[in-house]
Structures are given as C-alpha cells and as structure tokens.
Structure 1
Amino acid sequence: MKFKRILQSVTGVSTPIFGIQWTPPHWASDLAEETLVYLSDKRVLFNRFDMEDAGHCIQSVDNVRNHLERQRGKLQGNKELDKSLAAMQRACRRFMDYVGHPKYSSLEKPIQESILENELQRLRSSIGKQVATLSISFGVDVEDELASIITFNNIENA
C-alpha cells in the first residue's frame, strides 16, 4: 500500500509529515523501510487467528522484539523513529507477558485460545499504529498484508 494512501486514510497518528515542515534523514527512512520490510514477513501480525499456534507466536514475537532492539541500536538520535520502535517493543513484551507466562500452558485449551486471540489483537493493533506512523513519517510504502493491521477510517467509496 502506498504511504500516501495510508496518509489519506488514517486518523489519530500524531507525527511530523515530511515536506516543508520536516524532511526525514535518508538513513532514517532507510531504517524505517527496513523495519517495515522485516515486519511484512511476520505472519504473526496478520494471519487468521485459527492459523496461529502459541508456541510459534511466542517465537516470532520474540524475534520481532530482538530485531527492533537491533534497529534501535542503529539510530542516530532520531527520536521519532525511536519512539515508534520502542512502542512496538513494548507491545511485544506485553504479548510475551501473557502468552509466554509459565501459567499459560497450564490453562484449559479454550482459555489459552481466548488469551492468544485477545493478545494477538492487542499486539496487531499496537504495531499497526506504529506501522502507519512509520509509513507516514518516513514516506515508506507498506506491503498489503502488513497494512491490514493498520486501523483505517471508514471511508465511503474508497
């Protein structure tokens, strides 16, 4: 999905828009794009809930969290980019706090499935907001599957 379409269709993103007011450094745009390309390959962020398994989700979310930490290590003081990456890391940690908790595996299967679905929704919502922020702030297009976790306005005749 083109970032301009995301810009036109998203509300609630508080970020500088590049142009007259702000032009992101080239390296920051590259880092944002690299992050979004990485996330676009993470099925845990957009697969149907019935196709997910807690063990695989935990592993994938942990990989995402670690990748985001490495990305943050490459920052050169860009607070806008760091803010988004940190927010995604927090969402990953929150997911791990619930689904990765030692007591999770001792719960009955329907309860586990409910928790997994609920926490996947929260994770996807949180990361979706940051995907929109990165796309809009740094002028980066987003793969359609990943764009599916962005909360868009209800637009008639879109």
Structure 2
Amino acid sequence: MSLPGFGIQWQKTSTDRKIANEVIVFLEDRRLLFGDRHVDDEGDCVHSALQIRTFLTEQLRRDGVGRELRHILKAMRATCRNFVDAAGPGGRNFGFQMGPTGANRFGLALGDLRSRMGFYIAAIATQYKIEIDEDLSTILPPPPEERDDDVSWFPGFEEQAGS
C-alpha cells in the first residue's frame, strides 16, 4: 500500500540526487576549478567555464529537477557567467595585465569563481550526501568547527530545517 504523494516525493528526491551526482562527477574533471594555472591559460579557462555553463543549463532542462537543486544549479551557472563576463570578448580582459588596484584581473576572477563554486558544491554534497573527489575538494570551504549538516541557512534549503 502506498500513501498519496509518497511516490512523487521519492521520485523527486531520487531524480535530484542523480542529477546532483552527475553534476559533481562532471565538475571533478574541470581543472579550471582546482588545477594550477599558467600564462596563456586564460582562453582555455574561459572555454571551460562556457562548457560548465552549457552542462548546467542541460541539467536544468531535465524533467523532475526539484526547486532546491534548481536554485543552486542556477547560482552555479550565474557564477560561470560572471567569470566569462569578466573575461570580456575573446578573454581580452584576462591578458597578462594588472587591474586598477595592481591586482591580476584573471587571478581575481578565477579566485571568485572557485570560492563561489566551492560553496555551491559543498551545499550539494551535504544535501545529497555525495563524496567529493580529492582535487575538487580543494575549493570547498573549510568544514565547520562542530558537526553541522543543517543547510537550512542556504537559500532554497530552508524547508529542510525541520526534516
């Protein structure tokens, strides 16, 4: 005997977990997020960010993506878009030049991309209990001092607090 709505909720959770896992597996192979960068890598990094954006858009188009996961995938996609926008047409803003404050524009944009993506990856990994590859885990925020699996502080996950 099944309770009304139970199967639908289970399917949603199963679909979200599957999509979340596929996103993590895809990102584990993106050296843009964790690899050492060298002079003239800027164009390759912009290309990789575009590939990540395309992949995330494809995941968002899949049937059954839940509201919470949709929210975080959109935030990840926006992070990639910000990186590409900072690069400018053809990545020209990332040429080896210093910004107005003497900081390397590419280095700053890359650091912002990695820290934001690390935050979102950590939220996905926590919510869906997914283990993260050692290389990709280098961009995750530091673990909390105390064990805290409550992600209700993250927009879109607030409903999980009482669960």
Question: When the two structures are superposed, what TM-score results if normalisation uses the length of structure 1?
Answer: 0.75
Q: What is the one-letter code of the residue matched to 1:110?
A: Q
Q: Which runs of 4+ in 1 moved over 6 A?
A: none
**Matched residues in 1 for 2:128 and 2:62: separation?**
16
User: Is 1:70 equivalent to 2:87 in the alignment?
Assistant: no
The equivalent position to 2:42 in structure 1, one of 51, 54, 60, is 54
User: Is 1:110 equivalent to 2:100 in the alignment?
Assistant: no
Query: How do 1:7-156 and structure 2 match up within 5 A?
Result: 25-50=13-38, 53-99=41-87, 101-102=88-89, 105=92, 109-111=96-98, 114-153=104-143
1:26 shift after superposition: 1.2
* Percentage identity across paired residues of the two chains: 25
**What is the alpha-carbon root mean square deviation over aligned residues?**
2.5
Structure 2 segments unaligned to the other structure (5+ residues)? 1-8, 146-163
Structure 1 segments unaligned to the other structure (5+ residues)? 1-21
**Matched residues in 1 for 2:79 and 2:44: separation?**
17
1:137 shift after superposition: 0.5
Q: Secondary structure at the match of 2:20?
A: helix
Computing the radius of gyration from Cα coordinates, the structure with the larger value is 2
Q: Corresponding residue for 1:18?
A: none
Question: When the two structures are superposed, what TM-score results if normalisation uses the length of structure 2?
Answer: 0.73
Q: Deviations over 1:6-58 (max 9, x none)?
A: xxxxxxxxxxxxxxxx9871121111000000000000000123377110001
Query: Does the CA-based 8 Å contact 2:93-2:105 persist in structure 1?
Result: no
Q: Secondary structure at the match of 1:110?
A: coil
Q: Which has the higher contact order (CA 8 A, sep 6+)?
A: 1
1:154 shift after superposition: 7.2
Moved more, 52-61 or 39-48: 52-61
Query: Does the CA-based 8 Å contact 2:79-2:116 persist in structure 1?
Result: yes
**Matched residues in 2 for 1:103 and 1:66: separation?**
18
**Matched residues in 2 for 1:58 and 1:107: separation?**
9
Q: What is the one-letter code of the residue matched to 1:59?
A: H
Note closer, same or farther for the CA distance 1:106–1:31 as it changes in structure 2 (3 Å cut): closer
Q: What number of residue pairs does the alignment pair up?
A: 133
Q: Secondary structure at the match of 1:50?
A: coil
